Structure 1
Amino acid sequence: MVEVREERVPARKVFGLAVPALGVLAAEPLYVLVDTAVVGHLGALPLAALALGGTLLALVSTQLTFLSYGTTSRTARLHGAGRRAEAVEEGVQATWLALAVGVVIVVAGQLLARPVASMMSGDEQITDATVSWLRIALCGTPMILVTMAGNGWMRGVQDAVRPLRYVLAGNGLSAVLCPILVYPAGLGLEGSAVANVVAQTVSGGFFLAALVRERARLRPRPSVMWAQLILGRDLVLRSLGFQACFLSATAVAARTSTEAVGAHQVVWQLWTFLSLVLDSIAIAAQSLIGAALGGGSRRRAHGIAGQITRYGLVLGCGLGVAFAAVSQVLPLAFTSDAGVLGQIPHAWWFFVALQPVAGVVFALDGVLLGAGDAAYLRNATLGSALLGFLPLIWASLGFGWGLAGIWTGLTVFMLLRLGFVVARWRGGRWAVTGAVRA
């Protein structure tokens, strides 16, 4: 272990970054709930199409989170080194990359929308409706990615409030526009897609305007974009590991029983929501750690890492206690089906017990992402998936272990990840100083 004297930052600085970040993270799921409620009144077919199309669109953005997380890491180092203009220019290059990738996705999406939707739905009517929604919604992809890049560079220069305002402005306008386009304007399901594009265009437009106001050099620099792609490669592979695990869990639950997949959906959505809460601490860590290392202070980086980890542990313990207390009540808000309610406890207590573990793991994910240690995180995630989650998930199907087997797999996955990130944190090799990580 490397011995380094630690230097902390005020708690208000951590939570001054974390709370707005939580607002940004929560804005999209809340908008999706509004969208679902509006379309749901059109009937089962439009709702199924929205579910399928929305899943495909979300999958695209999920795989490209490096535009946000990777940009935060690189920008924060430059900001910490006192080179704010260069930090903003890092955001310019991430934005060019976002636009280029976004255009490619729009073109590919128009060509592949039908075959992919057909493969996933197996129903001609659902496929037609999904393709109709998806082809419109995909037009907002470049601005979705611009927004991700914008969040990344603004967090890097420790400005967490403007991204929240920009995202809320876009999603708020769209939440008002969606029911108008769907019903009085008579656009139906397609009205939802148009409102989605409006939301992304407004939010992305604010981020583009912010770059112009910074008076940054707007010329594309391929060498910087290539460096961002190298970092992005590791984050994309890490994200693919998560997707393989989570899709496998849902598939095995679906093959277990209708009640089991319903129970898994309830508990999994709660897990996903609480992940957003814990991830807000990780986002603060990315910005603060990157700035500390960019400024050449290993003492400060180690102090912040320990501080953030303690915050994550305390928050995770608090969430675990809170959800243990409502175990008999909260599931009733999601379903009244006796079979589903009977299955929920098989997953619920794993979910509760994992909150402290998740608090530490997510906090240290943020520390290592802030340090630009993406290759290690990639290997840790893929190793945990291959050694823990996936074998147990598919063994659960073969041996009929049901939800308990599925959530045992998730538990082993999280414990392995905990071991990997704690070992890295304590070893100290992540704390590489300098405006750019070597």
Structure 2
Amino acid sequence: MSQTATTDRSVSPRRIASLALPALVVLAAEPLYVLVDTAVVGHLGRVPLAALAVGGTVMTLTAWVGTVVAYGTTGRAARRFGAGDRAAAVAEGVQSSWLAFGVGLVIAIGMQFGGAALARTLAGGAGDVADAAAHWLRIAALGAPGLLLAAAGNGWLRGVQDTRRPLYFVLGPNLLSAVLCPLLVYPGGLGLIGSAVANVVAQTLCGALFAAALVAERVSLRPRPRVIRQQLVLSRDLLIRGLAFQASFLSATAVAARFGAAAVGAHQIALQLWFFTALVLDALAIAAQSLVGAALGAGDDAGARALARRIGLLGGICGVGFALFVAAGAGVVPTWFSSDPGVREQAMVAWPWFVVMLPLAGVVFALDGVLIGAGDVRYLRNLTIVAALGGFLPAIWLAYALDLGLGGIWAGLTVFVVIRLVALLLRLRNGRWAVVGAVR
């Protein structure tokens, strides 16, 4: 059977779904646990909840670093796997696990010394909230090595197209933590600290499961500094890209706040729904990373191009589905989040932009996954910076200067998406991303 025939079968919607759906569950597990954690701590009172918000922000950034490690590892491991060298693909996981564990240790140790100062900075000064946040953060940070080990494990297992074990490795510890959290907080008498302990238990167990999976592969576990340096370069580009995103969305929130409480409240509702759709569509991007990387590793650039087109189309279809759902819920969904008439009115200002943008965003997120799988991360980094500095940020601050309100902010986000869509389609067409071989 020809390579092309094999590739054609592998890019069927069923094959893509078999990778995307387990990835979606894994992606959703952590945010859902955070909701449970917040609900449990929220009943302790205002100070513990505020402290969790402060400390949780730091751990969310740690999880974001883990996502960067996972995405970088998936593409490299997938190429090795596609070239028929599973051992080399797993070896990429070994090196990214050393990198992840090292960064996790730095974070865990750093929070023991700098956690209090960081908590005071985020909490706006010394006080009960800062003290409670610092205590929570010192304990919760001990789970950082396990959290980042799990991210690296997700990366290499997706690269070898094994999505079943990550599902078990992530869901099991998170379910355990969801049970432990209320038990430690209330009957256990630990209060807010019980939440931190439950986090550490889950993250450490999760990391241990992924580490055990590496050991079971019977490959060399010796660190290889040259490979780790290569992975650091890839992670650097993804981090810079992520920072451009963070700066843009923080600016959008800052400008929305200048239009009043109702505007920033409505912006928060629409933005969180936007992040949720991005999370779901990221599952498709993860499938793209694995399949495209494997195709290019096998030397099948035609197959990789076919994959890119099909996954881009599926992303657009998913985006249209979300757009129809969001449009139909325009008069209902905002009421789930706020009973304030002013907030609902402002939400309707952002809503048309949100709906129009979703089909475009579906294609953008899918093609992001294609280029990450191809190792074309430098192009993605540069594109994101250009789209942010040349489109999103100027539009946001122009909306403020001209008093365009929330509609101006969401118009800016639409410009950001359109710039990225056009550039990604041009990149897809010229084919420079489709470099074959086990490594890029």
In the alignment, which of 205, 210, 232 is matched to residue 235 of structure 2? Answer: 232
2:13 aligns with one of 8, 11, 14: 11
> Any conservation in 1 of the 2:139–2:197 contact (CA below 8 Å)?
yes
- 2:100 match: 98
CA separation in 2, counterparts of 1:104 and 1:45?
Answer: 28
Counterpart in the other structure of 1:177: 180
The corresponding residue for 1:422 is 425
Aligned to 2:322: 319
Q: Deviations over 1:271-327 (max 9, x none)?
A: 111111111110000000000000000111011101100100011011101110111
Q: Does 1:280 align with 2:277?
A: no
- Pick aligned residue for 1:38 from 23, 37, 40: 40
CA distance in 2, matches of 1:411, 1:5: 39
Q: Which residue of 2 aligns with 1:345?
A: 348
- Aligned residue identity for 1:185: G
Post-superposition offset of 1:400 = 2.2
Per-residue CA deviations over 1:320-353 (Å, capped at 9, x if unaligned) read: 0111011111111111111111111111121111
Q: Tell me which residue corresponds to 1:168.
A: 171
| Deviation of 1:396 (Å) | 2.2
Q: Does 1:355 align with 2:354?
A: no
Deviation at 1:5, TM superposition (A): 12
- Residue aligned with 1:436, SS: coil
SS for the counterpart of 2:438 is coil
Comparing 201-210 with 59-68, greater Cα deviation is found at: 59-68
Match of 1:192 among 183, 191, 195: 195
Superposition pairs for residues 193-208 of structure 1, below 5 Å? Answer: 193-208=196-211
Contact 1:63/1:240 (<8 A) preserved: no
SS in 1 for 2:207: helix
Choose from 260, 267, 270 the match for 2:263: 260
Measure how far apart 1:7 and its partner are: 5.4
The one-letter code of the counterpart of 1:23 is V
Q: Which runs of 5+ in 2 are unaligned?
A: none
TM-aligned CA distance change 1:73 to 1:242, over 3 Å: same
Q: Which amino acid aligns with 2:178?
A: A
TM-score after normalising by structure 1: 0.97
Judge conservation of contact 1:68–1:153 (CA < 8 Å) in 2. Answer: yes
Q: Give the SS at the match of 1:65.
A: helix
CA contact (8 A) 1:238 1:378 kept: yes
State which drifts further: 8-17 or 425-434: 8-17
Q: How far did 1:141 drift?
A: 0.6
What are the superposed Cα offsets for residues 127-171 of structure 1, whole Å, 9 maximum, x if unpaired? 111111111111111111101000000000000111011100111
Structure 1 stretches of at least 4 aligned residues deviating more than 4 Å after TM superposition: 4-7
Within 1, Cα distance between the matches of 2:343 and 2:54? 23
Equivalent residue, structure 2, for 1:394? 397
Q: CA deviation at 1:202?
A: 1.2
Residue in structure 2 matched with residue 249 of structure 1 by the alignment = 252
Q: Distance in 2 between matches of 1:270 and 1:16?
A: 25
1:149 to 147, 152, 159: 152
Q: Distance in 1 between matches of 2:129 and 2:258?
A: 22
CA contact (8 A) 1:64 1:236 kept: no
| 8 A contact 1:5–1:299 mirrored in 2 | no
Instruction: Note the C-alpha offset of 1:120.
Output: 2.0
Q: Does 2:54 correspond to 1:52?
A: yes
> 2:209 & 2:50 partners in 1: Cα distance?
32
Alignment size in residue pairs: 434
* Conserved? CA contact 1:6–1:303, under 8 Å: no
Quote the residue 1:108 is aligned against: 110
Alpha-carbon shift at residue 247 of structure 1 (Å): 1.1
Amino acid at match of 1:215: R
Q: Which amino acid aligns with 1:222?
A: P
- The CA distance in 2 between the partners of 1:210 and 1:235, in whole Å, is 26
The residue number in structure 1 matching 2:22 is 20
1:119 paired to 2:121: yes
Query: CA shift at 1:48, angstroms?
Result: 1.1
Q: Give the one of 219, 223, 234 matched to 1:220.
A: 223
Identity of aligned residues (%): 58
The one-letter code of the counterpart of 1:112 is: G
- What's the C-alpha RMSD, in Å, of the aligned pairs? 1.4
Residue ranges of structure 1 left out of the alignment (5+ in a row): none
* Secondary structure in structure 2 of the residue aligned to 1:63: helix
Closer, same or farther in 2 for the Cα pair 1:6/1:432, shift >3 Å?
A: farther
Task: Output the CA distance in 2 between the equivalents of 1:53 and 1:347.
Answer: 30
What is the CA distance between 1:6 and its match in structure 2? 12
Which of the numbers 59, 63, 69 marks the counterpart of 1:61?
Answer: 63
- Comparing 105-114 with 205-214, greater Cα deviation is found at 105-114
Question: CA offsets, 1:181-226, max 9 Å, x none?
Answer: 1001111111111111111011111101101111111111111111
Say which is worse superposed, 391-400 or 87-96, in terms of deviation: 391-400
Contact 1:140 1:196 in 2 (8 A): yes
**In structure 2, distance between residues paired with 1:23 and 1:399:** 43
Distance 1:252 1:140 in 2: 35
Q: What does 1:119-138 align with in structure 2 at a 5 Å threshold?
A: 119-123=121-125, 124-138=127-141
Give, in angstroms, the shift of residue 398 of structure 1. 2.7
Would the aligned equivalents of 2:123 and 2:129 in 1 still touch at CA under 8 Å?
Answer: yes
